[in-house]
Structures are given as structure tokens and as C-alpha cells.
Structure 1
Amino acid sequence: MPHTPSSPRTGQNPTPPPGASKRAAPDRGRTLLGPALRLVHTGQAPTRSALTGALDVTRATAGAVTAELEALGLITVDSRPAGGGRGRPSHRLALADPGPAVLAAQLHADAVSVTLAGLGGRLHGPVHLPLPADTSPTALLDAVAETGARLARDSRRRVLGAALALPNPVTEPDGTVPSSLHFDWPPGTPVDALFAAAVARTDPGPRTRTPLPTAVANDANLAALAEHRHGAGRGARHLLLVTSGHRGVGGALVIDGRLHTGSSGLALEVGHVTVDPLGRPCACGNRGCLNAETDTYALFAAAERRPDPDRPLLPQARALAHDPDAADALAHVVDRLGLGLAGLANILNPDRIVLSGLHLDLLAAAPDRLAAVVADRCLWGRSGRIPIVPAQVGHAGLVGAAELAWEPYLDDPQAVAAP
């Protein structure tokens, strides 16, 4: 089965080309299918009137576009116009339910998550499983693919693609892992090709598109995409996301709706920003990296406590962040997180910073302290504080993986009709 990759580089930008006229020609309508679907997908066009204004087209063109998207089984158009306001009532637009779906999966340091996902960032019954005993690349990806195939067989939805979020850097465009932080995978593991092969070996049932397009990407990048389209990052032009899960720190930057992934997909390795040259050793060989100073292990070390090895680590760290007896440890870690965010803000000048994972709890436990450290050390913070906000999207890595799998169809909705 051939492999059809998609890329998280493609972002949302529904704005028509400059100078576009309001002609209702059929070819004009077809070129607007993708931008229109993105607007409905991200909740920016709940009515046909809103879509007409966002696309800057005539009512006739908007009607033709929505009719085509409805015929493709992607949206529904309420036959009764929505009233209650000034002007002519407008038809409500919604994503088709049930509509087509994609498979979204995420590898964690200690678990696997797999789900079906519709448009609009909607997950349908995520399945969370412990890691298999064999975590070699082929065995682990086979387990992910087989779980996804089972979900596809059990669903009445047509499955159009599959994507996987990884807790590792992923190179572009070849989809290799230069170094594996959580699994004993050799450097340069071709995870993109291995995932495509694993999916091809499964039987996802007759309703699944064949061949099934697949893609892989870094989980922090995908979480940022999810927050930008469906959560705390909506409306931001320059969105910086920083997160800490089971171990280490990840980050991602969205600029004008597109992920900034650098020349080979490895940009924004924020975990290796130094915040204390004399601090804790980092796996990269340096000391005092954000990775080593603000993750779950760092908080336990600062509190001089040991986590329970028989329980998931992240929930324990989150509880510790709100423990009054660990206030000094919290302050220590928050200060170092603030130094890291300030350094990143000085370089990137984002208009919003979104924190997730453990960092969300650090923000909740000490919002004023964290904001003060960033403002004190950040040039832009002094001239106008950068909003630091908590993430809003649950299972953001899975939602981001779904975005990656949906990307070819957001670019070209008519591809949904392909066999």
C-alpha cells in the first residue's frame, strides 16, 4: 500500500487572494471549498452569512460553496434561517454528524492513545492503553495500527486518514526520529515509513479509504496546532506553546496560522534553553536546561520527594504543584520556567503564550509570580505584558494528530469523494 504523507507545515488561512472579486462563477466556488471548510471546521463561520463575510463573496457564491460541502457529506446547512438579530436571517452551518473521520494516535512515555476524530476537533471515544512489553519501533507501531483498525472496523464512519503524535523530534520531510527520548529506538528510525507500513498490514474494514494516507509529527507541534484552531490560541498571530508531560519540556510556534518547524522540522526545541548553568543535569549533556529544571522530576527533586513508581507520574506532579507544603519547591520551579519563557519571548515576541501539561498547573498555582518573572526579564513584558494562558484543548496531542490527518481534505475537500 503506498504511503501518502501530509505535513503539519500547512496551516489555516481562509483569506481569499487580494483583489478577489465577488463573482459567483463555478470555478470561483470550487477554489473556495477549502477556505470555507476551514472556517466551519474552526468555528469561525457558524452561519452562511458569517461565511459570506469571511470569504468576501456574494450570497450566491456562499450558497454554492455550502451546497457543495453539504453534498460531500462534510457539513449540514439548516433549512430554516437563524433569526433573532438585525438584517436578513441566515442559515446555520454545522459539521456533519455523523460524518467521515480520521484515526488519530499518540505515543506517550508510558501509554498509547488512539481514537477516531471528526472535523471540528471532535474525538470519538479515545482508547488509552499501557505500552506493550515490546516497545521496539515495529512492535509499538503495529500495536497502534491494530488498535486503530479495530476502531475503524467497529465504526459506521468512513475513515479517510491516520496520523500519529510522537514525544520526540521528527525530521521533515523524511519523517525520521533523530533521537528517541523515551524508547530504545536507534537514531534515525524511519518512523513515518514504519507507521505507514504498520497501517497497511491491518484490516480496517470496508469503509476505510484504501490506500489510507498516513502522517507523523512531534506531539508539541500538534498540540500547538490544536490550541490555535480550537482552543486558547484562537485569534493569535504569533502563538508560543510550552508544555511538560511525563518528562522533559516541549514547545511550538504558530505564525499566521502555520506551524514554524524550521528547515528540517526540528525548530523550537525549547527544552534545551539554559535557565540555570549550575542546575540539574539534562539528558542532552548540559546543565540547567528547561527540560531538567521545570518538568515533573524537577518539581519532585525541588520538593525533596519521590514519586510513587506504581502510579502515573504527571498526575502526582500536578497534585504536588498545589500542595501548600511544597510552596518553596513550586516557587523554585516557577522562577525557572519564567526565565525560560522570558528568553523565548525576547527572541520570538509572541502575542500569546499557552502553557499545558504540568506547566498549566504551575501557572494555576502561581499566576502572579510567573507573570512577574516573565515581565521582569522580558523586554516586551515591560512594555506590555504578554498574555500567559492555560491550554483549553483536552487530549491536545490527539486533536493535533487529527488536524494533521485532516489536512489534505481541508486543502481539497473534493478529495473526500475519492475511492
Structure 2
Amino acid sequence: MNGKATPTRTRLERGRSALGPALELVHTGRAPTRAVLTSELGVTRATAGAVAAELEALGLITVDSRPGAGAGSQGRPSHRLSVDETGPVALAAQVHADGHRVALVGLGGRIVATAAGRGVVEADPEQVLGEAVAAGEALLRESGRRCVGAGLAVPSAVAEPEGTALSPLHLAWPPGAPVRRVFTERVRAIGVEGPVFTGNDVNLAALAEHRHGAGRGAGNLLCVATGHRGVGGALVLNGRLHTGSSGLALEVGHLMVNPEGRPCYCGGRGCLDVEADPLAFLTAAGREPGPETNLLQQASELLRAEPGEPGVRTATERLIDCLGAGLAGLVNILNPDRIILGGLHRELLAADPDRLRAAVADRSLWGRSSVPVLACTLDHNSLVGAGEVAWQPVLDDPLAALGA
């Protein structure tokens, strides 16, 4: 033996090292055909074919048996690739002010099944997460699918590596609630053996939008969104969430945008959290807020139903100006190539896109900013994002993650 690898062995090793990148390309829709997969991976047609065949054998993708040309394409027809819609799933859960929701999320960011929980979140995180996982167990039992892991989205900064929810202000949970430990224990109790992850809901929404929604193709994606209370933010750099040294980056809700504004929970005044959330909108519009558990719905419905009413118009302009000031500051610091907005901020963008884009551009240090500002497009994007982090080990190394 001269120690040189044979061509067959070299192709095999190259193909196996390409399994993860190939799966991510199909998962995110960037490789709809085997020809595109070949080009994106920079391998031969034979290697790309072997990679696709192995992913199909793992039950992760499907390869059309007969090649066909896409609309408007030229050259040799190619086999179409897609995620296997009958394949494994991740268990995803989200807790928010008006309850919890659980879903099974397949490759491609597809929600396979979902179940909503109670309308009130108890002060005991163990009870809430136990109920959520029990609902997930029922979905898994009914589907009969293999589960690759689980992810949880919570409306709080999540400290790493402990996995504690530092400030679940609007859930009445104690600061530092050990959400990852509790969630992991409940997931293990129903027999799910894959990795378990926990993250901030806006972080996970941004990840989902980057891979499957309004953030596709962005190199530096900034996401800002409201829930029922408060404002959250996230940054995706080169396809990965930027969470900082301990998971606490992009707490954009505590940017000061109005020096004379309302007191904030952080001890400051005039932060985005209290100047540009649904409660701020209802208050500025002169409306008495209803139950706190559906403030987002109240504000969104009011904005859509009565956009020209003087109080609503005034509130819209006030929040757009505050939001624009906050976004401009983030643009000056982070230099993103795209901004996406969720929750009430998506509604504000739709109500007066020119005013919001001008508010960002006029405060840019570099002159009139040309950063695109778009609306989030995915339903339940935090749930999809919770599924994404559970799928990540499979995307990184399908053979190792699936025990093949």
C-alpha cells in the first residue's frame, strides 16, 4: 500500500462530508435540483448524485426518479430535490403571554401539526412546560414520526450556558427560571432522546425568517418585533444567530428613543420596550386596553380597522417615529443589509411604509440609508425557529445525528 486514497474512497469521503451542506441547501430551498446541488457543492455530478441518494436513504429528502427541466431553464434536465414530507420532525414549543403553542416541524420549515394550549400562563414554569410537552407527546403519538430533538421559544433573554430565562416579565415567572432544565426533563420523560434547545422567541423567529421567509439571502439580518408586551430584536450573521458571549445580545427593547418617555422595567425611561409596543399604541390612541393576554391582537385590529381615525393616526405616527429612531440607531451600530419587522411593527410598516423608511433613513450616519425594511412573512415564526435549532445537529452531520 502506498497510502494514497483510491478514487472511490476519495469520492465517498467527499460525499459524506458534503451531506450536511447538501441537506441545508435542500432544506432552505437553495438547491431545488441535483444540477444546482452539484454547482453549489462544487463536486462532480456523480458525487452529488451519491449525496442525494444517501440523504434520500436517510428519509430526509426525495429525488424525482425522472429528470425534468424547470420553467424557463435551458440545458440538460435535472432531477428535482425536495424535503421528504413524511420524514422525521422536531418538537417545537413556544410560551407567550396568552398561553403556549406546540408544533411538529419538518425539514423545510414546514409545520406538520400544531396544538394551542390554555389562554392563561401559570406562574409556575414547570406546570406550563409540562402541559406543553404533554401536548407535544400527543402530536408525536398521532403522527407516528421519528423526533430528532426539541426546541423551546420563550419571551425572555435566555442566559448561556445555564439556559435560564433572566427576565420573563410578562409571564409572572421568577427571574432566572431554569427553563432549559425543566423543558429537557419533560422532553426526556416522553422518550425523546435528541438534543434539546431553548432560546429567546425573537431570536428564533429571526432564524426561521432568514432560512425560510423574508430574511432569505440576507448576509446581516436585523429582526425587530413586538409580542403582546415589549420589543425584541435579533441579528443573524452569515446564517447564524448572533447571541453574544452569554446569549444576551440584541436586547433592543432597552434602546432609549424618547428621553421624556414612560418609565421602563429596566430602570430607564423612554425605551423602545414601553414606547413602541401594543400597550403604548393603545394608550397613545386613547383606547382602554383590554386583557393583557391579547394586547397585540387589540392593537393590530384597531390599526387595521380605523387607520384614519385621528387618535389612531396620531398613535401610528408616534410609534413609527419612535421605532424609526430605534432602527436608525441599530443601523448605525450594526450596518445590516436587511431589516425585518414582526408583530405590531409589521402592521405599522404596512400602515405607512414611507414614513417609517424615512424615519430610518433620515437618522442614518451615512446619509439616506438604503437598508430594505420588510415585513416578516412566516406564520408562527418563533415555533418554526424552535424547530430549526432542534434540526441543526442533523443539518450539521446527518449520519452522526441520526445514528446511521
TM-score by length of 2: 0.93
Whole-angstrom CA distance in 2 between matches of 1:197 and 1:416: 20
Do 1:250 and 1:270's aligned partners in 2 also have CA atoms closer than 8 Å? yes
Task: Trace 1:126-141 onto structure 2 (pairs within 5 A).
Answer: 126-131=114-119, 134-141=122-129
Residue 259 of structure 2 corresponds to residue 277 of structure 1: yes
Call closer, same or farther: CA 1:36–1:116 in 2, change over 3 Å: same
Structure 1 residue 401: Cα displacement: 0.3
Q: Number of paired residues?
A: 392
Which residue in the other structure is 1:157 paired with?
145
- Which deviates further from its counterpart, 42-51 or 326-335? 326-335
Query: Cα deviation per residue 1:251-287 (whole Å; 9 max; x = unaligned)?
Result: 0001111111000000000000000011011111211
Which residue in the other structure is 2:4 paired with?
none
RMSD: 1.8
Letter in 1 for 2:350: A
Letter in 2 for 1:407: Q
Residue 174 of structure 2 corresponds to residue 189 of structure 1: no
Do 2:96 and 2:171's aligned partners in 1 also have CA atoms closer than 8 Å? no
Call closer, same or farther: CA 1:290–1:109 in 2, change over 3 Å: same
Q: Give ranges in structure 2 of 5+ residues lacking alignment.
A: 1-6
Query: Cα deviation per residue 1:359-410 (whole Å; 9 max; x = unaligned)?
Result: 0000000101111111111124x25421000111110000000001101100
Q: Give ranges in structure 1 of 5+ residues lacking alignment.
A: 1-20, 205-209
Whole-angstrom CA distance in 1 between matches of 2:174 and 2:357: 40
Do 1:72 and 1:416's aligned partners in 2 also have CA atoms closer than 8 Å? no
Structure 1 residue 211: Cα displacement: 2.2
Whole-angstrom CA distance in 1 between matches of 2:115 and 2:276: 29
Structure 1 residue 121: Cα displacement: 0.4
Call closer, same or farther: CA 1:133–1:180 in 2, change over 3 Å: closer
Letter in 1 for 2:26: V
Whole-angstrom CA distance in 1 between matches of 2:360 and 2:332: 10
Structure 1 residue 309: Cα displacement: 2.3
- Which deviates further from its counterpart, 267-276 or 311-320? 311-320
State the SS of the aligned residue for 2:370: coil
Detail structure 1 runs of 4+ shifted over 6 Å in the superposition: none
Structure 1 residue 156: Cα displacement: 2.2
Task: Trace 1:195-210 onto structure 2 (pairs within 5 A).
Answer: 195-202=183-190, 210=192
TM-score by length of 1: 0.90
Do 2:272 and 2:323's aligned partners in 1 also have CA atoms closer than 8 Å? yes
Task: Trace 1:183-332 onto structure 2 (pairs within 5 A).
Answer: 183-202=171-190, 210-309=192-291, 312-322=294-304, 323=306, 324-325=308-309, 326-332=312-318
Residue 374 of structure 2 corresponds to residue 389 of structure 1: yes
Structure 1 residue 316: Cα displacement: 1.2
State the SS of the aligned residue for 1:199: helix
- Which deviates further from its counterpart, 54-63 or 407-416? 407-416
Do 1:38 and 1:410's aligned partners in 2 also have CA atoms closer than 8 Å? yes
Which residue in the other structure is 1:64 paired with?
50
Which residue in the other structure is 1:82 paired with?
68
Do 1:141 and 1:195's aligned partners in 2 also have CA atoms closer than 8 Å? yes
Letter in 2 for 1:40: V
Which residue in the other structure is 1:340 paired with?
326
Whole-angstrom CA distance in 2 between matches of 1:294 and 1:133: 24
Letter in 1 for 2:134: E
Letter in 2 for 1:188: G
Identify which of 39, 48, 54 aligns with 2:25. Answer: 39
Whole-angstrom CA distance in 1 between matches of 2:369 and 2:265: 35
Letter in 1 for 2:148: L
- Which deviates further from its counterpart, 383-392 or 405-414? 383-392
Structure 1 residue 78: Cα displacement: 0.4
Task: Trace 1:89-100 onto structure 2 (pairs within 5 A).
Answer: 89-100=77-88
